[in-house]
Chain A
Amino acid sequence: MENKKILVVDDESDMRTFVSTVVETMGIEPDTAQDGPEAFEKARSNPPALVILDVMMPKIEDGIQTYQQFRTDERLGNIPIIMLSAIARKTFFHALSMLSPQKGDQVSEPEAYMEKPPDAYELNRLINNLVTAKK
Chain B
Amino acid sequence: MEKTILLVDDEAGIRKVLSISLSDMGYTVLTAENGREALEIFKKVNPPIVLTDIKMPEIDGIELLRLIKQENRETEVIMITGHGDIDVAIQSVKYEATDFVTKPINDEVLEIALQRANERIAMRQQIDQYTQNLEQLVSDKSRKLVEAERMAAVGQTVAGLSHAIKNIAGGLKGGAFVLEKGIELNNKKYLMQGWEMIKGNVDKITHLSLDLLNYTKTTEINYQPCHPNKPAQEVFNLMTLRAKQNGIGLKCQLCPDLKELNFDPELIHRCLLNLVSNALDACVENHSGGKNKEVQIITATTDGWGVEYRVTDNCCGMDEEIKAKVFQEFFTTKGAQGTGIGLMITKKIIDDHGGVIEVESKKGIGSKFVIRLPKTLV
Measuring CB to CB, which residues of chain A are less than 8 angstroms from any residue of chain B?
Answer: 11-12, 14-15, 17-18, 21-22, 25, 34, 56, 58, 86, 116-117, 120
Check if B263 is an interface residue, CB within 8 A of chain A.
Answer: no
In order of increasing CB-CB distance, the 6 nearest A-B pairs are A117-B170, A18-B174, A21-B178, A14-B171, A12-B335, A120-B177
A90 to B335, CA, bound (A): 21
Give the shortest distance, in Å, between A57 (CB) and chain B (any CB). 9
Chain A residues whose C-beta falls within 8 Å of the C-beta of B177 in the assembled complex: 18, 21-22, 120
Residues 149-171 of B contacting A (Cβ, < 8 Å)? 163, 166-167, 169-171
> Are B175 and A12 closer than 8 Å at their CB atoms?
no
Give the shortest distance, in Å, between B208 (CB) and chain A (any CB). 15
> Are B200 and A14 closer than 8 Å at their CB atoms?
yes
Chain A residues whose C-beta falls within 8 Å of the C-beta of B193 in the assembled complex: 17, 21
Give the shortest distance, in Å, between A124 (CB) and chain B (any CB). 10
Give the shortest distance, in Å, between B315 (CB) and chain A (any CB). 16
Chain B residues whose C-beta falls within 8 Å of the C-beta of A56 in the assembled complex: 335
> Are A25 and B185 closer than 8 Å at their CB atoms?
yes
A17 to B167, CA, bound (A): 15
Check if B197 is an interface residue, CB within 8 A of chain A.
Answer: yes
Q: A25-B185, A117-B166 are in contact. Are A17 and B333 (CB under 8 A)?
A: no
> Are A25 and B174 closer than 8 Å at their CB atoms?
no
Chain A residues whose C-beta falls within 8 Å of the C-beta of B337 in the assembled complex: 12
A14 to B202, CA, bound (A): 13
Measuring CB to CB, which residues of chain B are less than 8 angstroms from any residue of chain A?
Answer: 163, 166-167, 169-171, 173-175, 177-178, 181, 185, 190, 193-194, 197, 200-201, 287, 333-337
> Are B181 and A17 closer than 8 Å at their CB atoms?
no
Chain A residues whose C-beta falls within 8 Å of the C-beta of B173 in the assembled complex: 117
Give the shortest distance, in Å, between B78 (CB) and chain A (any CB). 75
Assuming A11-B335, A58-B333, A117-B171, what are 6 further A-B pairs, CB within 8 angstroms?
Answer: A14-B201, A17-B174, A17-B197, A18-B197, A25-B190, A117-B174
A17 to B182, CA, bound (A): 13
Give the shortest distance, in Å, between A79 (CB) and chain B (any CB). 24
Partner of A25, one of B163, B181, B201: B181
What would 10 A/B residue contacts be, using CB atoms closer than 8 Å?
A: A15-B174, A15-B336, A17-B174, A18-B175, A18-B177, A25-B185, A58-B335, A117-B166, A117-B171, A120-B177
The prevalent SS among residues of A at the interface is: loop
A17 to B171, CA, bound (A): 10
Give the shortest distance, in Å, between A30 (CB) and chain B (any CB). 12
Chain B residues whose C-beta falls within 8 Å of the C-beta of A11 in the assembled complex: 335
A11 to B200, CA, bound (A): 16
Measured CB to CB, the nearest residue on chain A to B285 is: A11
A86 to B194, CA, bound (A): 21
Q: A14-B200, A17-B178, A21-B181 are in contact. Are A116 and B170 (CB under 8 A)?
A: yes
Partner of A14, one of B175, B181, B287, B333: B175
A47 to B250, CA, bound (A): 42
Chain B residues whose C-beta falls within 8 Å of the C-beta of A120 in the assembled complex: 177
Give the shortest distance, in Å, between B159 (CB) and chain A (any CB). 13
A55 to B287, CA, bound (A): 21
Measured CB to CB, the nearest residue on chain A to B196 is: A17
> Are B197 and A14 closer than 8 Å at their CB atoms?
yes
A13 to B124, CA, bound (A): 75
Chain B residues whose C-beta falls within 8 Å of the C-beta of A17 in the assembled complex: 174, 178, 193, 197
Partner of B336, one of A12, A21, A22: A12
Give the shortest distance, in Å, between A7 (CB) and chain B (any CB). 18
> Are A117 and B169 closer than 8 Å at their CB atoms?
yes
Measured CB to CB, the nearest residue on chain B to A25 is: B181
A15 to B169, CA, bound (A): 12
Give the shortest distance, in Å, between A110 (CB) and chain B (any CB). 20
> Are B336 and A14 closer than 8 Å at their CB atoms?
yes
Give the shortest distance, in Å, between B17 (CB) and chain A (any CB). 89
Give the shortest distance, in Å, between B174 (CB) and chain A (any CB). 3
A58 to B167, CA, bound (A): 14
Q: A12-B336, A117-B169, A117-B170 are in contact. Are A21 and B200 (CB under 8 A)?
A: no
Chain A residues whose C-beta falls within 8 Å of the C-beta of B334 in the assembled complex: 58
